[in-house]
Amino acid sequence: MSIEAASVRILQQWDELKLHFDLCRKEEHCYTAEQLYSMFSDKKNHIFLIFFKSVFGDVQHVNKKFEAAVHDPTKLLNDLVHLIDSFSSRIVIPERKVNVDDVLENYLGPKPYLGFEFEREMSECKFTDEEDIR
């Protein structure tokens, strides 16, 4: 199973997994269940996984192309360039041309749009450290 498929499944079953590990930690006094329950209880972990789900999808698409028995190197290069452009379009200010010798923080958007699900969760949670999460 790919990490993308696993992350989708985990997100689909988030509440059920949280409940399962809560029961295990209480009934069986299991340290691992305690740690997993703690992770599932932290809303930041849920939001990070939502963001990375879309990233994993893009990476999985390119990975499958590389695993193909027959592939065109030019198309693979185009897919890699598209992947990098996709990542940078999420966090870099659109008008700025990135110079690799400069400090990267100078090119980052102050409030990047990280996808509908991510933005919805962020607006519902009202984190005090939202800037750090972004």
pLDDT of residue 39: 96
Tell me the two tokens of residue 52: 């990375």
Average pLDDT of the chain is 82
Query: Are 122 and 72 contained in the same domain?
Result: yes
- Clarify whether residues 30 and 77 are in a common domain: no
**Whether residues 18 and 47 fall in one domain:** no
**32/25 Cα distance (integer angstroms):** 8
Q: Which domain holds residue 59?
A: 43-134
Which pair of tokens denotes residue 105? 């923080």
Length of the chain: 134
- Asked if residue 131 and residue 102 are part of one domain, the reply reads yes
Q: What are phi and psi of 102, to 5 degrees?
A: -85, 170
- Say if residue 84 is in the same domain as residue 109: yes
Is the separation of the CB atoms in 57 and 4 below 8 Å? yes
pTM for this entry: 0.64
Tokens representing 50? 């939502």
Q: Are residues 90 and 113 in the same domain?
A: yes
Our count of domains for the chain comes to 2
Predicted confidence at residue 72, as pLDDT, reads 83
pLDDT of 22-78, one tens digit each? 999 999 999 999 999 999 999 889 988 988 887 888 888 888 888 887 778 888 888
Is 50 within 8 Å of 118 (Cβ atoms)?
yes
39-50 pLDDT, tens per residue?
A: 999 988 998 898
Q: What average pLDDT score do residues 101-121 get?
A: 70
- Nearest in space to 36 (alpha carbons), one of 28, 47, 24: 24
Whole-angstrom distance, CA of residue 35 vs CA of residue 41 = 10
